[in-house]
A = this chain, B = another copy of it.
Amino acid sequence: MLKDVLGSNVITQIGIIVKDIEKTSQAYADFFGIEKPQAFWTDAVEQAQTEYNGNSTPARAQLAFFDMGSLQLELIQPDEHPSTWREFLETHGEGVQHIAFVVEGLKDKVQIMQNGGMPLIQKGEYTGGRYAYMDTVKDLKVIVELLENDK
């Protein structure tokens, strides 16, 4: 049994998969009376080194972030290539896909979780850090994303 794996229980982000990021961003901005953020594409595979189920993938997504209290709400519109984002959209439709936690030593934590029966689904790099989506669905009923930011 995995115990206190992350060294954190602070939810830093909620990720929602959407089909039309412009439309849903506008709906959030209107409903909550906040500014509509500029959506942007994740980096191409050459920079992001995106791997999904152990294989390199050209998959990208458009992202938009909203500050909603102490955490961020992230809207994610997947492209057509294989990814955890695309898979979620095809199997669940639009909705909450992940909760995210900032960790230190991401690589070690991924290893510990994999050894403990929580496989790595997808990982990649972004400017200033890296992420890993872990298959925690059986135990926690939601995907956990680990985020590690460079110091």
Answer whether residue A27 sits at the interface, using C-beta atoms and an 8 A cutoff: yes
- Report the nearest B residue to A23, measured CB to CB: B139
Cβ A24 vs Cβ B140 within 8 A: yes
Cβ A14 vs Cβ B16 within 8 A: no
- Report the nearest B residue to A66, measured CB to CB: B9
Of A48-56, A79-87, A93-101, the segment with at least 4 beta carbons within 8 Å of chain B is A93-101
Contact flags A65-106 to B (C-beta < 8 A → 1, else 0): 011111101000000000000000000101110010000000
> Cα distance A70–B10 when bound, in Å?
7
Cβ B136 vs Cβ A24 within 8 A: no
Identical copies in the complex: 2
Answer whether residue A151 sits at the interface, using C-beta atoms and an 8 A cutoff: no
Q: Which of B9, B16, B140 contacts A142 (CB 8 A)?
A: B16
Contact flags A1-38 to B (C-beta < 8 A → 1, else 0): 11111100111101011100000100110111110000
Known: A31-B2, A33-B4. A69 touches B68 (CB 8 A): no
> Cα distance A27–B136 when bound, in Å?
10
Cβ A27 vs Cβ B139 within 8 A: yes
Taking A4-B30, A9-B34, A69-B70 as known contacts, 14 extra A-B pairs with beta carbons closer than 8 A to each other, sorted by chain A number, are A1-B30, A2-B31, A3-B30, A5-B33, A6-B32, A9-B32, A9-B68, A12-B69, A14-B96, A24-B139, A27-B140, A31-B139, A95-B95, A95-B142
